[in-house]
Amino acid sequence: MDDLYCLLYRSKCILPARSPEERAMLEVANSRNQIEAITGILHRESGAYFQWLEGPRASVEAVYASIQDDHRHTNVECLSIEPATHRRFADWTMAYSNFDDESLFDWAAEAGMSLLHPNPQEILAFLEHRARLLP
C-alpha cells in the first residue's frame, strides 16, 4: 500500500484514568479508526498519552487533526510521521495499555532512553512489546 503512513504523538491527558469519559473516548476512537482503516495503540502513563496511528495518509492526518482539536488532550506533539511499508498493529483498531500493565518510563530508564527528546523507534519498540502482551 503506497499510501500507508504512520504517526507517533504524545500529549497530556485531561481525563481521569479508567474514567467513564476515557472509556467512551476509546470506544469512539475504535469505531472511527475502523471506518478510517486506522490501526494502532494508545499508551497512558503519568498523565501522558503516547499513540501510534497507521493507515492511509489522509485518514491518519484527519485523525491527528481531530486529536489536536480535542479538549481531552493538551500539549499535543507529533514525534514522527512517515510513510510505512507495513502495519505494525494490524490486529488493533486501537490497542490500549497503561502504567498498570507496564511502564514506558521504566522501559526508557532501563534502556537509557530519553523521554524528554524521545526516539520514535524506541517508543515504537515499547508499544509493539505491549501489543504482543495484550489479550
Per the structure, the count of domains in the chain is 1
CATH of the domain at 11: 3.30.70.100
Please give the pLDDT value at position 79: 95
Residue in 98, 107, 118, 106 with CA at minimum distance from that of residue 43:
98
pLDDT digits (tens, 9 = 90+) for 85-131: 999 999 999 899 988 878 998 988 898 888 888 889 999 999 999 99
Please give the pLDDT value at position 112: 86
pLDDT digits (tens, 9 = 90+) for 5-64: 999 999 999 988 889 999 999 999 999 999 999 999 999 999 999 999 999 999 999 999
The Cα 87–Cα 21 span in angstroms is 29
The Cα 44–Cα 48 span in angstroms is 6
Which residues partner with 45 through β-bridges? Answer: 48
2 — pLDDT class (breaks 50, 70, 90):
low
In this prediction the pTM is 0.90
Residue 96: domain span: 4-133
In three-state secondary structure terms, 77 is: strand
